[in-house]
Amino acid sequence: MQTTPEPVSPAERRGRLLKVLGVGFGLAVIIGNTIGAGIFRAPGEIAGHLPNVWLFLGVWVVGRLYALLGAI
């Protein structure tokens, strides 16, 4: 025989992951946030070290090709 779960107040739910999402989802969000922060921050630092716009674009294209080959 199934019993219905007791209602949980909003104060008790605060600070918890939804059970549907779980730990895997939480880890994916943390890893994605870390990678995303690096993607947004790194190009500005690299552009600051390179003297020419075309050199920056060339490095960017080479990096894209490297990532594509790594994914293949």
In-domain check, residue 2: no
Is the pLDDT higher at 14 or at 69? 69
| 23 confidence band (pLDDT: 50, 70, 90) | confident
| 46 contacts: CB under 8 Å, gap ≥ 6 | 56, 59
Q: In this predicted model, what pLDDT tens digit does every residue of 36-56 receive, in sequence order?
A: 888 888 888 888 999 999 999
| 28 contacts: CB under 8 Å, gap ≥ 6 | none
Number of structural domains found in the chain: 1
In-domain check, residue 62: yes
Is the pLDDT higher at 19 or at 42? 42
In-domain check, residue 60: yes
| Percent of the chain topping pLDDT 70 | 75
pLDDT of 38 reads 83
Measured CA to CA, the distance from residue 55 to residue 47 in angstroms comes to 9
Crossing angle between the packed helical segments 22-49 and 53-71, to the nearest 10 degrees: 150
In-domain check, residue 50: yes
